[in-house]
A and B are shown apart, each in its own frame.
Chain A
Amino acid sequence: MAEPALELDRLEVRYGPVTVVRELSLRVERGEIVGLIGPNGAGKSTTLHAIMGLLPVAAGEIRVAGVSVAGRSPESIARAGVALVPEGRRIFGDFTVEENLRLGLAGRRSANGGDPLAAAYELFPMLREFRRRSAGALSGGQQQQLAIGRAIVADPDLLLLDEPSLGLAPTAVDGVFGAFGAIRERGVTILLVEQRAQRTVALADRTHVLVGGLERMTLGPADVDDTDKIIAAYLAS
């Protein structure tokens, strides 16, 4: 059996004196989509930042494909096959769409011939059409697609998404969620942090509910209609 794509082992992350994530353990097997939901301040984004090396790990262990990445720099973790689509998209508004995508290539481990941006263009054909435009001129939904495309061109094994539907119109949310299946088919493992609990539970193989830095509950797709259970998990604090 192959090592899991991602394994958190009693992870603890602090902001100064405040412990934001406590004893969080979870496994994401290769090819899985795993959701991470919970109220604001539950430690979801913090967990992703710790995996990506943007925040120091106070205790515990983070393993990517069996290899510990705790203490490594963000650029080194990116080059180990992890890509983060950050909250608020963080695209470079002054750059063209194509330049934004080419930045994603910085984290690519090896060139495999052909157009290196093809993966993003296949996933979101709009990006090819607008590749010469300034990224800042795109709509919110298009910018989110650009942010996901930028992560995909790095050819990651593990994709971390931080609230990709935040601030998007409902149709744009459909476009973003619709892409996750196609990304999984490319062999990419996904850890999805979201506020849209029901959609996440419906999409993911498993969804962990994080409250106050602690894991409260794990939900499966079968729980999607059990609104009471989801609400109860949120209110558990």
Chain B
Amino acid sequence: MMVASVDFQTLSDAIGLGAIYALMAVGIGLVFGVLRLVNFAYGQLVMAGAYTLAFTSGWPVAGSILACFAVVVALSLAMERAVFRPLRGQSPAVMLVTTFAIAFVLQAIALIVDLRDNTIGEIASSAAPLNRSVSVGGVDVRKITIVAIAVAVVTLALLALLLTRTTIGLHTRAAASDFRTARLLGVRANRVIGFAALLSGVLAATVSVLLTVQAPFVSPDFALRDTIVVLVGVVVGGIDRLWTATLGGFTIGFASGVINGALPTDKTVYLPSAVFALVILVLLLRPAGLFAWGRHAAAERV
């Protein structure tokens, strides 16, 4: 029974979750690349986007999504400008603790908003029909899964083009690889960090839209658990390279999806335990990261 339950539907859901987690992983990885900062408050950006979608649920879908992008990107840029930039060059511990603080502040604000106006919560979005299934080759797949995978593939492809084909992309990659040398060549530190924050915000907003379709009930801890799982995935994949971080995000999302499908319905409470047991095993076997082949670049940086 357990094996039989890992069917095509479970696999497609797992890929869909992996796709969303991959987008979150890139958003976290981009900022880590240029700032060497693990942004624990990334989930609160997604949460802010979800609240924006809830507040604007009466609007036309396009307007609501646009508002979500505007709010999340503005918040991401404000976070960079007001907090990360002044703290640049501080120890990683200081920066990490600061992002915890931002996360709690944003969550507290969301809680106040939530208590004041208990009409919000469920997003009566016209995107909800995306949760219905379509039949692909005789197998039912939820439309949102297909949308999530398509959005992730297109977004990642666009991001890859932006990073490899444009000057600002080249500068950002250089800053992520060796910040000091990039600066002495004339690469403007504030501009690449701002660019990373902008992209990171766009990715968080995209994730808000995709997640709220699947989980339409918005609360202050929206996306919190997802963020923790993605952060773990990013570290397991290898945080110092964007593509290994992304792959790590995808892998942990996919693994969560499969394990969730494989566990009997009354045992799903064991999902986090099973996922994190797997994480410990991976880190014991490959402490440098699951996809960390050719470590030369990281070693050189020291």
Task: Please report A residues at the B interface, Cβ cutoff 8 Å.
Answer: 52-54, 73-75, 78-79, 83-84, 86, 90, 92-95, 99, 102-108, 136, 150, 154
Q: Is the CB of A94 within 8 A of B177?
A: yes
Q: If the complex has contacts A95-B173, A102-B170, are A90 and B181 also in contact, measured as CB distance less than 8 A?
A: yes
Residues of A contacting B173 with CB < 8 Å? Answer: 95
Residue in B185, B188, B300 with the greatest tally of chain A CB atoms within 10 Å: B185
Select from chain B the residue with minimum beta-carbon distance to A156.
Answer: B186
Residues of A contacting B182 with CB < 8 Å? Answer: 103, 106
**B11 interface residue per 8 A CB criterion:** no
Question: In the complex the two chains form, what is the Cα distance from A180 to B185 in whole Å?
Answer: 20
Task: Please report B residues at the A interface, Cβ cutoff 8 Å.
Answer: 167, 170-171, 173-174, 177-178, 180-189, 296-297, 300
Question: In the complex the two chains form, what is the Cα distance from A75 to B187 in whole Å?
Answer: 6
Question: In the complex the two chains form, what is the Cα distance from A84 to B181 in whole Å?
Answer: 9
Q: Is the CB of A75 within 8 A of B188?
A: yes
Question: In the complex the two chains form, what is the Cα distance from A93 to B173 in whole Å?
Answer: 12
Shortest A17–chain B CB gap in Å is 20
Question: In the complex the two chains form, what is the Cα distance from A154 to B171 in whole Å?
Answer: 15
Pick the residue among B170, B185, B189 that contacts A154 (CB under 8 A). B185
12 new A-B contacts, CB < 8 A, other than A79-B186, A94-B177, A95-B173, are: A54-B184, A73-B183, A74-B180, A75-B183, A75-B186, A75-B187, A78-B184, A92-B177, A95-B174, A103-B185, A104-B185, A106-B171
Question: In the complex the two chains form, what is the Cα distance from A127 to B186 in whole Å?
Answer: 21
Q: If the complex has contacts A86-B181, A93-B297, are A107 and B174 also in contact, measured as CB distance less than 8 A?
A: no
The number of inter-chain residue pairs (CB within 8 angstroms) is 63
Q: If the complex has contacts A75-B183, A103-B170, A106-B171, are A92 and B178 also in contact, measured as CB distance less than 8 A?
A: yes
Q: Is the CB of B189 within 8 A of A75?
A: yes
Residues of A contacting B170 with CB < 8 Å? Answer: 95, 99, 102-103
Q: Is the CB of B185 within 8 A of A52?
A: no
Q: If the complex has contacts A93-B300, A95-B173, are A106 and B178 also in contact, measured as CB distance less than 8 A?
A: no
Question: In the complex the two chains form, what is the Cα distance from A75 to B190 in whole Å?
Answer: 10
Subset of 28 A-B contacts with CB under 8 Å: A53-B184, A74-B180, A74-B184, A75-B186, A75-B187, A83-B185, A86-B184, A90-B178, A90-B181, A92-B174, A93-B296, A93-B297, A93-B300, A94-B177, A95-B174, A95-B177, A102-B170, A103-B171, A103-B174, A103-B187, A105-B167, A106-B185, A106-B187, A106-B188, A107-B185, A108-B186, A150-B185, A154-B186
Q: Is the CB of B186 within 8 A of A78?
A: yes
Pick the residue among A84, A94, A102 that contacts B184 (CB under 8 A). A84
Select from chain B the residue with minimum beta-carbon distance to A100.
Answer: B174
Question: In the complex the two chains form, what is the Cα distance from A195 to B37 in whole Å?
Answer: 38
Question: In the complex the two chains form, what is the Cα distance from A86 to B182 in whole Å?
Answer: 11
Question: In the complex the two chains form, what is the Cα distance from A131 to B171 in whole Å?
Answer: 18
